């Protein structure tokens, strides 16, 4: 029996079994690698603007502490439950290890629709969530970051709340903060830019150019919008885009700058255009060179996978592809080049790591230095995944996750089992 239930955790567990079989990890060693070290569940009561008190469930899962502190985002969404948070923490572990970062994975979240709260209520909830987590987190224990439904402002409230309790400013407790509050240049854009960088690498591998390629992006928040901007800078034509409010498609190409301006001004894509509206259910399966799911988990199941018409699937979201869909994609390996999530969206945590290092040292880098170091880490991880996949004739996801799992396993085995 486990408390980690639900389709997202099942997916993380199934993926792990595939890797464990491939690496021939003995069965009695597997639970120690898969199951989280700690899970914290809190109730967060806050005052609403109308005087009532509301209580929200909050979670934080720390997957393993073997390589250093844990690291991971905080999600504010109605889907958040312990299984989803645990799965995201497990994925973070493989991702950090693949990128060579001295972290275990973590994830946190609150079951709430942040759009339904006023700014004041959102601040109350953010501060109370961090206050509840203080006994369990710290710059050398567990470092938070943004994820779906949270942003730089919320990270600033987290950092301020933690600092107030410590009696001094502790910028290194969270990453993804505003630059004015100890954040790093380049963090806001890092995940989306990293996605676009790896898309260019993937297109190169299949003998295509970024300039003139077509792209479809699902999700137009932090990751999707910066991926769109960076792809457009590199000459790629965005032909389809969606968020939770709207979906647009135009084979002649959409105006990325206008979409970004609209989304930043209005908070979503709704109202951008009436003529270009499209059925969101059909968006992912339209013909394009590059498909970027950048919203949520499990949007590509086996039936969608069979209908995909892209050359590169760049998994900017965490867990967008189900294990059933993987089986289909494995058979279509020559047709569709998958950049698996643990590689594709690693730019975010890599620059979060840079932010943490800068905060600890109180020594800040310019943006060029951040981006050069980011691309170096992504190149190294991409090369490792390609080499492993070619050597063992395994899918890119298997190669990427196996490199992460191996590093965690090796650290656990060399440290030994206490007591």
Binding residues for ligand NAD, rule: CB under 6 A, are 146-149, 191, 218-224, 242-244, 268, 294-296, 316-318, 345, 348
Q: By C-beta, is 67 or 316 nearer to ligand NAD?
A: 316
Q: How far is CA 219 from CA 141, 176, 281, 319, in A?
A: 32, 19, 13, 14
Tally Cβ neighbours within 10 Å of residue 279. 9
Nearer to ligand NAD, 240 or 348 (CB): 348
* Active-site choice (71, 107, 237, 407): 107
Which residues are registered as beta bridge partners of 214? 237
Which CB, 175 or 210, lies closer to ligand NAD?
A: 175
Interatomic CA distance for residues 36 and 206, integer angstroms: 38
| Strand order from edge to edge, sheet including 38-47 | 38-47, 53-62, 104-111, 70-77, 142-146
Could you tell me the sign of the dihedral formed by the alpha carbons of 354, 231, 206, 301, in that order?
Answer: positive
- Number of Cβ atoms within 10 Å of the Cβ of 147: 25
The minimum distance between CB 143 and ligand NAD, in angstroms, equals: 14
Catalytic annotation present for 107: yes
Q: Whole-number minimum distance, CB 417 to ligand NAD, in Å?
A: 31
Nearest-approach distance from CB 51 to ligand NAD, in angstroms? 29
Q: Are strands 247-249 and 53-62 parallel, antiparallel or unpaired?
A: unpaired
DSSP H helical segments within 267-340, as ranges? Answer: 280-283, 302-307, 323-331
Judged by CB, which is closer to ligand NAD: 99, or 130? 99
Question: Minimum distance between the CB of residue 187 and ligand NAD, rounded to whole angstroms?
Answer: 8
Cβ contact 156:181 at 8 Å: yes
Instruction: Pick the closer one to ligand NAD by CB: 105 or 149.
Output: 149
* Dihedral pair phi/psi, residue 52, rounded to 5°: -75, 165
Within a 10 A sphere around the Cβ of 416, how many other Cβ atoms?
7
User: Minimum Å distance from CB 227 to ligand NAD?
Assistant: 9
Least distance (Å) between residue 415 CB and ligand NAD: 28
Closest-approach residue to ligand NAD (CB) = 221
- For ligand NAD, which is the closer residue by CB, 307 or 415? 307
The residue written with tokens 């137009």 in the block is: 220
How large is the greatest C-alpha to C-alpha distance in the chain, in angstroms? Answer: 66
Active-site positions read: 107
């Amino acid at each position: 029996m486990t408390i980690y239930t639900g389709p997202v955790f099942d997916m993380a567990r199934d993926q792990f079994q595939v890797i464990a079989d491939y690496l021939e990890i003995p069965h009695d060693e597997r639970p120690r690698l898969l199951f989280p070290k700690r899970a914290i569940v809190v109730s967060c009561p806050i005052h609403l603007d109308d005087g009532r008190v509301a209580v929200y469930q909050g979670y934080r899962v720390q997957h393993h502490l073997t390589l250093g502190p844990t690291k991971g985002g905080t999600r504010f969404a109605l889907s958040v439950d312990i299984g989803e948070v645990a799965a995201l923490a497990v994925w973070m572990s493989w991702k950090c290890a693949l990128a060579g970062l001295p972290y275990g994975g973590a994830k946190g979240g609150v079951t709430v629709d942040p759009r339904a709260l006023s700014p004041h209520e959102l601040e109350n909830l953010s501060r109370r969530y961090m206050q509840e987590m203080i006994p369990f987190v710290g710059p050398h224990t567990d470092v938070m970051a943004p994820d779906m439904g949270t942003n730089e402002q919320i990270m600033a409230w987290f950092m301020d709340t933690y600092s107030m309790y410590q009696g001094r400013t502790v910028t290194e407790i969270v990453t993804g903060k505003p630059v004015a509050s100890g954040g790093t240049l380049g963090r806001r854009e890092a995940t989306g830019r990293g996605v676009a960088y790896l898309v260019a690498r993937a297109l190169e591998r299949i003998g295509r150019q970024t300039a003139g390629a077509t792209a479809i992006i699902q999700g137009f928040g932090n990751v999707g919008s910066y991926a769109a901007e960076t792809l457009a800078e590199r000459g790629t034509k965005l032909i389809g885009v969606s968020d939770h409010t709207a979906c647009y498609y135009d084979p002649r190409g959409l105006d990325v700058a206008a979409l970004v301006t609209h989304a930043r001004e209005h908070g979503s894509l709704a109202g951008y255009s009436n003529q270009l509206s499209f059925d969101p259910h059909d968006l992912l399966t339209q013909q394009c060179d590059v498909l970027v799911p950048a919203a949520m988990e499990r949007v590509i199941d086996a039936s969608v996978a069979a209908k995909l018409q892209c050359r590169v699937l760049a998994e900017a979201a965490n867990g967008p592809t189900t294990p059933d869909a993987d089986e289909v994609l494995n058979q279509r390996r020559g047709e569709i080049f998958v950049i698996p999530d643990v590689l594709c969206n690693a730019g975010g945590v890599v620059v979060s790591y840079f932010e943490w290092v800068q905060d600890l040292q109180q020594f800040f880098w310019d943006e060029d230095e951040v981006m050069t170091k980011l691309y170096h880490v992504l190149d190294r991880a991409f090369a490792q995944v390609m080499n492993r996949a070619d050597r063992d004739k395994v899918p890119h996801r298997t190669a990427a996750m196996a490199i992460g799992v191996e590093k965690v396993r090796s650290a656990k085995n060399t440290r030994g089992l206490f007591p």
